[in-house]
Chains A and B, each alone.
Chain A
Amino acid sequence: MSLADVFATARAESRAALVGYLPAGFPTVSGSKGYLRSMIDSGCDLLEIGLPFSDPVIDGPTIQAAAEQALSAGFRVRDLFDVVSSVADAGGRAVVMTYWNPVLRYGVDAFARDLAAAGGLGMITPDLIPDEADDWMAASEAHGLDRIFLVAPSSTSERIAMTARASSGFLYATAVMGVTGARDVVSSEAPELVARVREHTSIPVGVGLGVRSGAQAAEIAGFADGVIVGSAFVSAVAEGDSAVRALAADLAKGVRSAAAAV
């Protein structure tokens, strides 16, 4: 199943897809496999597996701390592919979200090759813009991976159009200007940004940054194709597996309780 299928299935059910994020290796490599499995079982349509990085400049305190914990527990980049494999083996669909430097260091083509071999479907690149992505464009083509670039409320129409053209699978719309982290209310900038994106592309649009409850997920599902939840899952891990499952179930209910966007 490809990313296009994930969103097509959700759309056919008149709902948004639920995308859940967790860093690989958090709290440990085997621990992250277990929690990701719980997220699949409890209603996540797609898993976004983070690669812990030493300098996570667009992450807030929750994900920063998780990355630090994973790295001090000895996480290595090769563990990422192991975690991706475990998700694929469990019947889940996974993309990787990573800062660019670890990919550069591994080798862009080698990283794409190993991600595809592990059963990963694509990569979200928060600090790589299409303008700098020639190597990744080639590697993703060669290995059949989707490229998920980001757009922001500050993006111009020209950049939204260009970024949409460079993307495949879905486009990641950051709901607010800021770093990752759960917030109480859905940004008013999000619906406007998604509307601007839709003027340029028919590619599915996922909205992330700040979502933590079923009610917020329902609100976003009213105008977007995917609801992306990160920091809230990281926080739930601290409370244990039942909290992770309960959060996923609440969010899964949320994405089903709004009329589909398109």
Chain B
Amino acid sequence: MGQFSPTPHDPDARGHFGPWGGRFVPEALIAAVDELATEYDKARVDPDFVNEFQRLLKDFAGRPSLLTEAPKFAEHAGTRVFLKREDLNHTGSHKINNVLGQALLTKRMGKKRVIAETGAGQHGVATATACALLGLDCVVYMGEVDTERQALNVARMRLLGAEVIPVKSGSRTLKDAINEALRDWVTNVDETHYLLGTAAGPHPFPLLVRDFHRIIGIEAREQILEKAGRLPDAVVACVGGGSNAIGIFHGFIDDADVRLIGVEPGGSGLDSGSHGATLTAGTPGSLHGAMSYVMQDEDGQITEAHSISAGLDYPGVGPEHSHLKDIGRAEYFPVTDAEAMEAFALLSRTEGIIPAIESSHALAGALKLGPSLGQDGLLVVNLSGRGDKDMDTAVKYFGLADGGQA
């Protein structure tokens, strides 16, 4: 089964996963999303495109990424744990898979300018990287709050030749960066591709972003069979918009005995109201172009998400996750900021791997889940990114600058 083969889980022709997904965008953008869908349909069966994409994944991004057993971390989880090492990809996260794919599509469409949104900066850095590689102009919208908490990534993007525009509207975080990117796109759509960073947005984005990340699950399935001799009991991934999760889930979606588990940002706890657990605590709505679970008040105003992780700080989620939740194929639960930071420190200390705070949510999920599986259990955790970008947060959280110890 190739990465781009149609699956029984694809949306209908208009992008619906059950009642979710679709296209809730201005008419002015329909021509562009139609063009993108048409181009992707051609590209996914074009050997030249597929080969070029796979060449870039191998020779530029460094795939396949490793599957590493984490025995000392596993002692704390009470079950056997393997880590899918997306943190080892070029630019430090899974995001590179999708940006290389979409940047190649941009060139196929004859467009020369790329815009993107970013929260933590991982997608922005990956996009700026792909644009530098492929000779595309790049503009990244980033909430002003995020430019402050991820200043290093702003510098990386600028070094790579991208223009970074701080977004000062609304909550000045990821959702507002997406709003501003959509405004740019509707104005400059002729020459511009919007390189959306997660498996959300109007059709065909949830489909193609997922497909570009399916490589994670395809590799992980082969690797775990080779290393452990069997399929895992569960695959665990963090879910903000949900791109790394949907990518690894799809490698196992037809293995009915493998549980698919998405871990959401619980912030200060669900009761506090200060969190980003869209699937756990949200309600159906349309945001940024698709029907999905969203965080909203009783008037349908979108509420602000809160997470210690800028990359999970989003009040929406990809529509396929809403579908997988509804049909019961995937399970979702939150972990708090504190639980994620504990897992962040634990993996660093026990295995010598500093994970992204996003990925630390998946690790915290594994720590919660592990005891129920027992010593004979087997977990694959998607380590979606590395934690270098999060050192400022860690320094403050653990007081590391004052001689503190995590």
Q: Which residue of B lies closest to A76 (CB)?
A: B299
B179 at the interface (CB under 8 A from A): yes
A152 near B302: Cβ-Cβ < 8 Å: no
Contact B300 A105 (CB under 8 A): yes
Q: What is the chain A residue whose CB lies nearest that of B298?
A: A105
Complex alpha-carbon distance, A72 and B189, angstroms: 32
Q: CB within 8 A of A177: which of B14, B187, B283, B299?
A: B187
- Interface residue count for B (Cβ, 8 Å)? 39
C-alpha spacing A152/B301, complex, angstroms = 26
> B24, A57: Cβ atoms under 8 Å?
no
* Contact of A101 (CB < 8 Å), options: B31, B189, B285: B285
A-contact bits for B177-194, CB 8 A (1 contact / 0 none): 001001100111110000
List chain A residues, Cβ under 8 A from B186: 57-58, 177-179
- Specify which chain B residues have a CB less than 8 angstroms from the CB of A152 in the assembled complex: 26-28
Smallest beta-carbon distance B175→chain A, Å = 7
B372 at the interface (CB under 8 A from A): no
Distance to closest chain B CB from A139 (angstroms):
16
Bitwise, A141-154 to B at CB < 8 A (1) or not (0) is: 00000000111111
Complex CA distance for A24 and B141, rounded to whole angstroms? 30
CB pair B30 A104 closer than 8 Å: no
A159-B183 contact, Cβ under 8 Å, with A64-B169, A104-B286: no
Task: Name the CB-closest residue of B to A128.
Answer: B24
Report the number of A-B residue pairs with Cβ-Cβ less than 8 Å: 116
User: Is A156 part of the contact surface with B, judged by Cβ < 8 Å?
Assistant: yes
| A55 proximity list for chain B (CB < 8 A) | 170, 175-176, 179, 287-288, 302
Residues A58 and B183 in contact, CB atoms below 8 Å apart: yes
Distance A151 CA – B189 CA, assembled complex (angstroms) = 15
Is the CB of A77 closer than 8 A to any CB of chain B? yes
- Flag if A106 contacts B300 (CB, 8 Å): yes
Number of interface residues of A (CB under 8 A): 40
Query: Is the pair B300, A126 in contact by a Cβ cutoff of 8 Å?
Result: no
For A102, what are the chain B residues with a Cβ–Cβ distance below 8 Å?
299-301
- Name the contact of B300 in the complex, choosing from A57, A77, A128, A156 (C-beta under 8 A): A77
* A142 CB, min distance to chain B CBs, angstroms: 21
Docked complex: A44-70 residues within 8 A CB-CB of B: 53-58, 60-61, 64, 68
Q: Give the interface centre of A60, A177, A178 by most chain B CB atoms within 10 Å.
A: A177
What is the CA–CA distance of A57 and B299 in the complex, to the nearest angstrom? 18
What sequence of 0s and 1s flags, for each residue 349-376 of chain B, a beta carbon within 8 Å of any chain A beta carbon?
A: 0000000000000000000000000000
**Of B190, B286, B298, which one neighbours A100 at CB under 8 angstroms?**
B286
- Taking CB atoms, residues of chain A closer than 8 Å to B175 are 55
Do the beta carbons of B301 and A54 come within 8 Å of each other? yes
Q: Is the CB of A54 within 8 A of B24?
A: no
State whether A179 and B183 are in contact (beta carbons under 8 Å apart), knowing that A102-B299, A105-B300 are contacts in the complex.
yes
Which of B22, B285, B301 lies at the interface centre, i.e. has the most chain A CB atoms within 10 A of its CB? Answer: B301
Indicate if B23 sits at the interface (CB-CB under 8 A): yes
Min CB distance, B147 to chain A, in Å?
19
Contact status A149-B300, CB under 8 Å = no
How far, in angstroms, from A56 to B179 measured CA to CA in the complex?
A: 7
The answer to whether the Cβ of A131 comes within 8 Å of any Cβ in the partner chain is: yes
Closest-CB distance, A66 to chain B (whole angstroms): 12
Taking CB atoms and an 8 Å cut-off, the chain B residues in 1-48 that contact chain A are 14, 22-32
Contact of B28 among A61, A106, A132, A174 (CB under 8 A): A174
Q: Which of A64, A71, A127 contacts B26 (CB 8 A)?
A: A127
8 Å CB interface, A176-221 against B: 177-179
Interface pair B301/A155, CB less than 8 Å apart: no
Asked whether A53 lies within 8 Å of B32 as measured between CB atoms, the reply is no
> Among B27, B170, B188, which residue has its beta carbon within 8 angstroms of that of A151?
B27
Check A154/B31 contact, CB under 8 A, given A55-B179, A100-B24, A132-B24. yes
Contact call A129/B183, Cβ cutoff below 8 A: no
With a 10 A CB-CB cut-off, give which of B14, B29, B190 has the most chain A CB atoms: B29
A103 on the B face (CB < 8 A): yes
Q: List 18 A-B contacts (CB under 8 A).
A: A53-B300, A54-B301, A54-B303, A55-B170, A57-B186, A58-B183, A68-B170, A77-B299, A103-B300, A105-B298, A127-B289, A131-B22, A155-B31, A156-B31, A177-B186, A177-B187, A178-B187, A179-B186
Q: Closest 10 interchain pairs by CB? A: A105-B300, A152-B28, A102-B300, A154-B31, A178-B187, A54-B301, A57-B182, A77-B299, A54-B302, A101-B300
Extra contacts, 12 of them, besides A58-B186, A68-B169 (Cβ < 8 A), are A55-B170, A101-B294, A102-B299, A104-B300, A105-B298, A105-B299, A127-B24, A129-B30, A131-B22, A155-B27, A155-B28, A156-B31
